[in-house]
Amino acid sequence: MQGHSYQRGSRDQLVTTQLTSVEPVASNTVGFGVCVASSFVIVDSAGHVLESQGGIAAGHGVAVHVEGQWLLRDLSLTGSRDCSAEQGPR
């Protein structure tokens, strides 16, 4: 895609995220849910919009507390059905 660039779409940000839940799993481990919304347009070098893309996706992650830091162990998509309009990023 030479001469093409990505710009913010109708949501005014390329990607937004919202933490939807945090659940302790063990003394040093938590599971968490997130909703991610993307909105962008692909434009050519002249500024003409070639394509618009976006949507909402849900994810689930696991983080582990090690030596004073939270480290991401897993992050997986779970499907948009897990993000309601109220939970989704704005």
Q: How many helices (H) and strands (E) does the chain have?
A: 0, 5
Is the per-residue pLDDT at 86 higher than 60? no
pTM over cut 0.85: no
Read off the DSSP letter of residue 80.
G
What percent of the chain stands above pLDDT 90? 47
Query: What distance lies between CA 29 and its chain's CA centroid?
Result: 21
Read off the DSSP letter of residue 8.
E
What percent of the chain stands above pLDDT 70? 88
Helix (H), strand (E) at residue 11: none
Choose among 57, 8, 13, 9: nearest CA to 36. 57
Domains of the chain and any CATH numbers: 5-81 (3.10.450.50)
